[in-house]
Chains A and B, each alone.
Chain A
């Protein structure tokens, strides 16, 4: 027999919604380090225990600059950061200059085939504070696995993918797409997606 769940707990967990009413979102997100972006997001930061998807037109449009304040803060607090299958060499002097404690930054090189496995292991283990990954062959099912792994490992997960995947559905809690105006929120759990874009340089 199924356990009886109270209505309040379902509402609090946001598995049940009041029709036509904005839910009282808990503002417990992980601060992004960009005040303007925090203001846009319903949780006032990166969603905790969840996957965030960044959709890029090309590499090198400022995706790392967006993550850098969070990563730097987590590494200085003693958390382990993992980069799974990065597309290029992370350049140590620049990462250090951005405030990252390089002692906490672990680079994991994999073949595209093993990238998803390594990504999931890192998320699920609970050993990492944040995991940034570049999986090449991720479908919705694989992303769902990653999302569940991030939840059970209490970990921030960032997936960086090509913008062509924007039209496909994704289980990620937050999706940001980079276009000519800057970063645009495509989906965010816990509220309607804001229409304004976030351009890091302008704030």
Chain B
């Protein structure tokens, strides 16, 4: 097996930067208690101004008054590592995120599908750059060795175990990512590199450095199997973006929304699934004395989809119809169910217009603006009462039956019968006696006639059974 390790040196910072429209502006992550705020990480713009991680926040502000700061969230780091594990899962079936700020994945099995290592590496780098994460990548026959090599030099790749061992022998102990502070202690004892370390008697090493070091070395060199805890994709999607400032307009929400939808679609394409129903939660500041902490924008589609542009547009339309009652401080996207996605089959030689939109997407666009009930189909039912002889059909899969044979029916039906007052009515045909519905309390006894009005319209009207006036208009033969 060959393992690639992707080291993410500034995962927490990248997770913040990628949601900002201008990642170049000086920014720092701050952590620590209120009295003793220190910088956890700084971006390139801040580093240029002389800011360093570990610096006091007050000192940083003195150096660079325009510095923007974001609270460092250790949990966010773990979440983003999981996200990247999900991303890596599409390149390999064996992905592990068990070590902090790095991802390891088995790549040999993917050579057949994705091509040789240089091509896979280029692809990984390209996608990571698009996702907005700084990275270092290395490849080695064992996952731990790949991790060590990635720490040494970006782009290092060794596929031969013997060459790997020779390379590892020359690695300084401090750089070998040994458990705990072992590396530092060994260095102080004068043990410089891994070869010297391996030449020491194993028994005494175990006594001095604990039970962890020897198995680690064995796994590093490939002498023992390395049982990693592998990543398994979750069956739901939940991502959150903190905005860092209060937003009260829709337009300012669109950029983070696009990121969220993009992440959702990445997750969907990895799972080979789609999404049919999700919630966009606009989180408000909870420190104010308000009852509602968030506003939910529900997005429901009639069929599973995973096209980013389409999902973005639908969500945007729904979002724009919602009034924002209070400033928004964070966006969260929750999708509980991720059903299987069946792409619409399309003819190879289909000649439709360039910008053609398939019907499901058009329908979602219409529903997003006009409301969930706006688009429907109609189907006949068996009930003889005209107002019940049809039903609405929502969704795609319902069967449409054939109506039982009856005398001619009008193409337009009035939602409710209305009185028809016209002195020059002419009876064309009728009556058709209709007597039904005694069982459900909506008993109907009517005589239906086809009438012609003075304007030449053909009307479908009824009177109470046996009578000839008091016309009630129920439909038009249009």
Chain A interface (Cβ < 8 Å from any Cβ of B): 57-65, 68, 80, 86-98, 102-103, 105-111, 114, 117-118, 121-122, 124-128, 152-154, 180
- Verify A125–B374 contact, CB threshold 8 A: no
Interface residue? B348 (CB, 8 A) = no
The 10 A-B pairs at the shortest CB distance, nearest first, are namely A60-B476, A126-B356, A92-B390, A93-B403, A88-B412, A91-B413, A94-B409, A64-B478, A125-B357, A60-B457
Alpha-carbon separation in the docked complex, A180 to B454 (Å): 11
**Closest Cβ–Cβ distance, residue B293 to chain A (whole Å):** 32
The chain B residue sitting closest to A62, CB to CB, is: B478
Interface residues of B in 152-195 (CB under 8 A from A): none
- Verify B459–A60 contact, CB threshold 8 A: yes
Alpha-carbon separation in the docked complex, A3 to B376 (Å): 46
Alpha-carbon separation in the docked complex, A62 to B377 (Å): 22
A88 proximity list for chain B (CB < 8 A) = 412-415, 475-476
Alpha-carbon separation in the docked complex, A111 to B371 (Å): 10
Chain B 396-410 interface 0/1 with A at a Cβ cutoff of 8 Å (1 = within): 000010110010111
Alpha-carbon separation in the docked complex, A80 to B400 (Å): 15
A102 proximity list for chain B (CB < 8 A) = 377-380, 400
Chain B 372-395 interface 0/1 with A at a Cβ cutoff of 8 Å (1 = within): 011111111000001001110000
Given contacts A88-B415, A108-B366, A124-B355, 12 further A-B contacts (CB under 8 A): A59-B476, A60-B410, A60-B412, A61-B455, A88-B476, A92-B403, A93-B406, A97-B409, A109-B373, A125-B361, A126-B352, A127-B362
B478 proximity list for chain A (CB < 8 A) = 59-65
Interface residue? B438 (CB, 8 A) = no
**Closest Cβ–Cβ distance, residue B66 to chain A (whole Å):** 44
B402 proximity list for chain A (CB < 8 A) = 96
Interface residue? B271 (CB, 8 A) = no
Interface residue? B365 (CB, 8 A) = yes
**Closest Cβ–Cβ distance, residue A71 to chain B (whole Å):** 11
B453 proximity list for chain A (CB < 8 A) = 58
Q: Of B377, B391, B403, B477, which one neighbours A105 at CB under 8 angstroms?
A: B377
Alpha-carbon separation in the docked complex, A45 to B373 (Å): 35
A60 proximity list for chain B (CB < 8 A) = 410, 412, 457-459, 476-478
**Closest Cβ–Cβ distance, residue B160 to chain A (whole Å):** 56
CB contact under 8 A between A89 and B415, given known A105-B377, A109-B374: yes
A61 proximity list for chain B (CB < 8 A) = 455-457, 478
- Verify A127–B358 contact, CB threshold 8 A: yes
Alpha-carbon separation in the docked complex, A107 to B380 (Å): 14
**Closest Cβ–Cβ distance, residue B155 to chain A (whole Å):** 47
B356 proximity list for chain A (CB < 8 A) = 125-127, 153
Alpha-carbon separation in the docked complex, A31 to B24 (Å): 62
- Verify B455–A97 contact, CB threshold 8 A: no
Interface residue? B370 (CB, 8 A) = yes
- Verify B412–A106 contact, CB threshold 8 A: no
CB contact under 8 A between A107 and B411, given known A60-B478, A121-B366: no
- Verify A92–B380 contact, CB threshold 8 A: yes
Can you sample 22 A-B contacts with CB below 8 Å? A58-B457, A59-B412, A88-B415, A90-B378, A90-B412, A91-B411, A92-B380, A93-B409, A94-B408, A95-B411, A96-B380, A96-B402, A102-B378, A105-B377, A106-B363, A108-B375, A121-B362, A125-B361, A126-B352, A126-B357, A127-B359, A152-B355
**Closest Cβ–Cβ distance, residue A22 to chain B (whole Å):** 31
**Closest Cβ–Cβ distance, residue A105 to chain B (whole Å):** 6
- Verify B353–A154 contact, CB threshold 8 A: yes
Interface residue? B369 (CB, 8 A) = yes
**Closest Cβ–Cβ distance, residue A163 to chain B (whole Å):** 11
**Closest Cβ–Cβ distance, residue A189 to chain B (whole Å):** 20
CB contact under 8 A between A126 and B456, given known A97-B409, A106-B375, A121-B365: no
- Verify B358–A97 contact, CB threshold 8 A: no
A111 proximity list for chain B (CB < 8 A) = 370
- Verify B403–A127 contact, CB threshold 8 A: no
CB contact under 8 A between A98 and B455, given known A92-B379, A92-B389: no
A109 proximity list for chain B (CB < 8 A) = 370, 373-376
Alpha-carbon separation in the docked complex, A153 to B222 (Å): 62
The chain B residue sitting closest to A108, CB to CB, is: B375
- Verify A89–B455 contact, CB threshold 8 A: no
- Verify B386–A91 contact, CB threshold 8 A: yes
The chain B residue sitting closest to A153, CB to CB, is: B353
Alpha-carbon separation in the docked complex, A72 to B402 (Å): 15
- Verify B358–A118 contact, CB threshold 8 A: no
CB contact under 8 A between A118 and B366, given known A80-B359, A92-B390, A126-B353: yes
